[in-house]
Amino acid sequence: MRAAVRVLLPLAAASLFAASNINVNFHEFDVPTPNSRPHDPAVAPDGALWYTGQLANKLGRVDPKTGVIKEYQLKTADSGPHGLTADADGNIWFTANFKEYIGKLNPKTGDVQEFPIDPAAKGPHTPVFDQQGTLWFTVQQGNFVGKLDPKTGKVTLKESPTPRSVPYGIAINSKGVPYFCAFV
């Protein structure tokens, strides 16, 4: 985290020279679990900041107003949560990078629901919702792009047309078309 902030500070300073009326502040939060490898932040509808604690098998919620952090332990050991996103109801959906499932955390109850994917779909990575509420995700090592219907739990996988392309990030355009990055 500290190295990333050092990189961002010169970029922020350069931006300040370009637009002198912009004020940039940085605030760091120390996560409660050391060495958890926190990453892939996302903002929920209530304004809370969420992160994955990949090596600690946790999801974390930061209240940016108070700095209070609450962590949620996942029920399947060594799931390796990676990417996450919030749905319109404030549930947190995440990819279990080490265990081949998509998870849904209900922050009100702490309950986690798991949606298994094909064992060949190793390394689920980045989740994103489209405008209809379908969850799309990439699968790095398995070379897939997938979608999950939250209403039925049905998971559909489509193999990337380029072998070993390692699908990574994904975004949905205004027409509902998914685009993903590939490491080829």
Q: Which of 27, 39, 82, 125 is catalytic?
A: 125
Lookup: tokens for 61: 């919620």
Measure the CA–CA gap between 86 and 22, rounded to whole angstroms.
Answer: 29
Is 39 noted as a catalytic residue in this protein? no
Active site residues: 125
